[in-house]
Amino acid sequence: MLQEFPTSISRQPGPVVLETERLTLRRPTLADVRAIAALANDRRIAENMRVLPHPYRREDATHFVKSVAGDGANTVFLIEHHHNPVGVVGVDWRRPETPELGYWLGVEHWGRGFGTEAARAAIDFAFEEFAISQMISVARVVNPASRNILEKCGFQWSGVELHRFAALGSSSPVDCFRLTRGVWSSLKNWGHARRGA
């Protein structure tokens, strides 16, 4: 039975691990702080993420890991390739009627299809576990790679807005996207993520 939406992480059946063809998605832990800080401390990433500061220090990674551990407003996965962290993907549930997909990859892992693979696993998890009718996401208009990931996942462009970016210290235009359950259902042949514990 589908849940309405997660009012807390504890409503999920223990720590969720998703496995795709090449990736493992799991909850980040304090043991991942060094790797997360090393990956995220790149201005090219921060400029495309609304809340990621730059420089990104270990203290920032520690705060991030601790905050998502008990945060019912987000479902966050560390993306691993051959047991090495490559990025983060998650769903923000603060507006449960329109949960928002977000993701980032370390620069050295760009262009390998990891973003699309991880995003699809998180999307499948959200639609399979919860009775949501749609998801949203955004990408800076100067970030065609991120827009490409969203389009490959079935998201459809819905307009342009201005959003504030911490690393820029200002607002920037973003393309807004929406994925409905109907479109997701029709595209499910992209393959399912296997679930483990």
pTM (two decimals): 0.88
- What are the tens digits of pLDDT across the range 96-122? 999 999 999 999 999 999 999 999 999
pLDDT band at 10; cut points 50, 70, 90? very low
188, pLDDT greater than 70: yes
Domains of the chain: 17-188 (3.40.630.30)
Long-range contacts, stretch 160-165, CB < 8 angstroms, 24+ apart: 163/50, 163/138, 164/50, 165/46, 165/47, 165/48, 165/49, 165/50, 165/140
Model pLDDT, residue 194: 66
pLDDT at 55: 96
Does the pLDDT of residue 11 top 90, yes or no? no
The CA distance from 185 to 60, in Å, is 37
∠ CA 117-19-96, rounded to 5°: 70
The reported pLDDT for the residue numbered 29 is 96
Task: Output the pLDDT for position 190.
Answer: 64
- Given its phi and psi angles, is residue 169 left (phi above 0), alpha (psi -120 to 50 degrees) or beta? left
Residue pLDDT, tens place only, 139-155: 999 999 999 999 999 99
pLDDT number for residue 13: 42
